[in-house]
Amino acid sequence: MRRLINDPYDVVEEMLEGFCKAHSKYVHLYENDGRVVVSNLAPVKGKVGIIIGGGSGHEPLFLGYVGENFADAAVIGNINTSPSPESCYNAVKAVDAGKGCLYLYGNYAGDVMNFDMGAEMAAEEGIRVETVRVTDDVCSSKNIEDRRGVAGDFFVFKVAGAKAAMGADLDEVKAAAEKANANTRSMGVALSSATHPATGKPIFEMEEGDMEIGMGIHGEPGVRRDKLQKADKVVEEIMSYIIPDLPFITGDEVAVLVNSLGSTPLMDLHICYRKVAMILEEKGIKIYRSFVGPYATTMDMIGMSITLMKLDDELKQLLDYPCSTPYFTIK
């Protein structure tokens, strides 16, 4: 094992303690629930509460995006495990300012069940909570509503956070998040597993020199496993799934995210980005704004994912809207 931890069963609590100390300018743990990271500004008067969350191990997702004009709270589960229904509910209590709250998370069965229970508990107290589940992983199902959420989370959360910050009501914020999700497609490649801190072992087996195209961020099976190819070939294959899926067509404008799954150097990500940009240029698809780095990881997994979001004027404005959080700031 090559992880810097103490007791493997304390990793989430110790991470949260360190995180809230390091970024105390932005966030704190909710006094009633140590698994809810709350913005120091929340509840923000006149603003819909934006609540994101899911299992740990994907940092900076989710807690890194709590702050000004982005998420008001993140609900924290154990590694690759949904947060509890109580924590989902407590996040509502922590951030609701009377305009209701929006839950945003990747579409996984455990998260769906527990966030839904949190919303029911809030409803019993008369607080309206709506939900948008991110379903950007093109190879996880043919049915869009069954797809998993991966790095596209970042775009959907950013858009919803900005819409809420602009004073929109819950229906409007939900509609913006739904549009962002409908316009977003992702796919990844893994070159290694990740190390589970509790076992000290990989969460699945993968030979050095292999790659798995389409693997999910918890190690869910992809479309095929093969010997590692050159970066340009890998990018071509991934783009050949993403582009026809929406489809993205000539004349479209897109935001691009080339995301590290954890241990892929920025050097390699930019080599991949170069090919993404070449393919989009060839197809007459214009890049409006790009993001390259670790946005949604699987701890120390080697690999990367590509996300495209088709933009209109509203989505451009929301993507560009200033925000300030521990792991993402626009001036």
Residue of 172, 178, 232, 236 interacting with a copy of itself (CB under 8 A): 232
Residue 309 vs residues 1, 118, 255, 289: alpha-carbon distances, Å: 37, 29, 5, 10
Nearer to a copy of itself, 181 or 195 (CB): 195
| CA torsion, ordered 283, 215, 104, 113, to nearest 10 deg | 140
- What is d(CA 214, CA 261) in angstroms, rounded to the nearest whole number? 12
Residue 12: CB minimum distance to a copy of itself, A: 8
Q: Does 220 bind a copy of itself (CB under 8 A)?
A: no
Q: Does 141 bind a copy of itself (CB under 8 A)?
A: no
Residue tagged active-site, from 23, 28, 58, 196 = 58
58 is catalytic: yes
Joined tokens for residue 69: 């004009």
Nearer to a copy of itself, 78 or 182 (CB): 78
**Site track 244-283 with a copy of itself (rule: CB under 8 A), x = hit:** ------------x-x---xxxxxxxxxxxxx--x------
Q: Does 237 bind a copy of itself (CB under 8 A)?
A: no
Q: What share of the chain is helix, strand, coil (3-state, %, to 5)?
A: 35, 25, 40
Nearer to a copy of itself, 131 or 297 (CB): 297
Pick the closest to residue 156 from 243, 257, 85, 249 (CA basis). Answer: 257
- What is d(CA 50, CA 66) in angstroms, rounded to the nearest whole number? 9
Window contacting a copy of itself (CB under 8 A); options: 9-17, 127-135, 137-145, 178-186: 9-17
Residue tagged active-site, from 23, 28, 196, 218 = 218
Residue 215: CB minimum distance to a copy of itself, A: 14
Residue of 135, 192, 259, 305 interacting with a copy of itself (CB under 8 A): 192
Dihedral over Cα of 98, 159, 168, 113: its sign: negative
- What is d(CA 82, CA 218) in angstroms, rounded to the nearest whole number? 12
Residue 88: CB minimum distance to a copy of itself, A: 21
Strand partners for 289: 255
Nearer to a copy of itself, 191 or 242 (CB): 191
Residues from 283 through 302 that contact a copy of itself (CB under 8 A):
287, 289-294, 297, 299-300, 302
Residue 102 identity = L
Residue 69: CB minimum distance to a copy of itself, A: 10
**Block residue for tokens 């404008």:** 253
Strand partners for 329: 324
The reply to whether omega before 43 is within 30° of 0 (cis) is yes
Q: If residue 308 lies in a helix (H) or strand (E), which one and from where to where? A: strand 303-310
Residue 89: CB minimum distance to a copy of itself, A: 25
Q: Does 109 bind a copy of itself (CB under 8 A)?
A: no
Nearer to a copy of itself, 224 or 274 (CB): 274
| CA torsion, ordered 245, 249, 254, 258, to nearest 10 deg | 50
Q: Are 196 and 186 in contact (CB under 8 A)?
A: no
Residue 18: CB atoms within 10 A of its CB come to 10
Q: Does 144 bind a copy of itself (CB under 8 A)?
A: no
**Block residue for tokens 């229906």:** 171
Catalytic residues: 58, 218
- Which residues form the interface with a copy of itself (CB under 8 A)? 1-6, 11, 14-19, 21-23, 25, 56-57, 59-60, 64, 68, 189, 191-192, 197, 208-209, 228, 230-232, 234, 256, 258, 262-274, 277, 287, 289-294, 297, 299-300, 302, 304, 322-324, 327, 329-331
